[in-house]
Amino acid sequence: MLEPRTSGTAPFSLSVLDNAHTGVGSTVQETFQEIIALAKLADRRGYRRFWMSEHHAMPGAATSSPQLMVARLTGETERIRLGAGGVMLPNHAPLVIAEQFGMLDTLAPGRIDLGVGRAPGTDGATAAALRRHRGAGDDFPQQVLELLGFLDDEFPQGHPYRDVHAVPGPWQAEQNEVPRATTRPGVWILGSSPYSAQLAGRLGLPYAFALQFGSADVVTAMALYRKHFRPSAVLAEPYGLVSVGVVADDDPVEARRQSASTAMGMLRMFRREPYSLLRPEDVEAYPATAQERQILDEWTDRTLHGTAPTVAHRLEQLHEHTGVDEVMLVLVGHSRQAQARTVELMADHYGLPGL
């Protein structure tokens, strides 16, 4: 079962998602060190979980393998849950993912989350380079069932993988005549559509809705998730999370400048240019056309930006509309200092129980 809520005065738990964005003027090595520092800060300040995302061949988003960074973070943090938000399962063999996250759970028992999605996390050419076939996403429900089978070592009689065991995992514990593992990675379904919401409900798994990608209908998705939910061995009642872009600063103008930097990254991606985030001053100096200005303004305002009370008010509105149990702050902006400041300000505002 999911652990009790720990956020102080917030009506929801608070977590953090880092996309490993590397801004212009920074190296990947610097970005990774800043991610480690940010995870340690989130752990210290009492956030519930810290997730990384999977992207491929995308300059400016440096985590092609979130599980590798999570492995490092298991030794850098003490209590925060760590995970992938997420692994794009059709890019991988379910057995390999079960083994990798079994290893992570062995390193940090009871602290590992495995969020799985069906998008490629990249463009079509790169998806082909990953050996992902065109209809890979259509098999997603079956891939999730295989993953769960390997994680729990529970395939029915006659299943072709009944005698295939993920190691480390429950089978290894039994063969060594030691108690069966008391934990395993917490599996989540990720998505931003009615399809993913209904699948999560039918499987009795927690559901994470990615609102940072656009204006998808999160209210309908959460309602469908609850409608289709079936209690399972891991979850007796529905548990929903929504992730949303956030940047908080004592100066609301600076918060908007950092949000605009991420908006420019989206515009560059739409034009098939590198996603690397430009400095706010370079964004301000960019001679945008009327159409580009509309895109920049739209994506700037999709991020919740402003002072901590302003951001908190919008988070609470989101909670009121969706009834989610948890909100995950997707940290945005060119400045890693701005992202760390967001973590600090929101923890202060909600009185999170730090170490």
Contact between 112 and 83 (Cβ < 8 Å): yes
The CA-CA-CA angle for residues 242, 73, 264, to 5°, reads 50
Number of other CB atoms surrounding residue 74 within 10 Å:
17
pLDDT digits (tens, 9 = 90+) for 187-235: 999 999 999 999 999 999 999 999 987 777 999 999 999 999 999 999 9
Tell me yes or no: is domain 13-251+304-350 CATH 3.40.50.11540: no
Three-state SS at 219? helix
What is the Cα–Cα distance from 181 to 131, expressed in whole angstroms?
A: 34
What confidence category does residue 298 fall into, taking pLDDT thresholds of 50, 70 and 90?
Answer: very high
pLDDT digits (tens, 9 = 90+) for 253-291: 999 999 999 999 889 888 888 778 899 999 999 999 999
Three-state SS at 208? strand
Which pLDDT belongs to residue 5? 41
In sequence order, what are the residues at sequence separation of 6 or more whose Cβ sits closer than 8 angstroms to the Cβ of residue 4? none
Which pLDDT belongs to residue 4? 42
With CA atoms as reference, report the closest residue to 151 among 197, 104, 209, 117: 104
What is the Cα–Cα distance from 290 to 16, expressed in whole angstroms?
A: 34
Domain parsing of the chain, residue ranges = 13-251+304-350
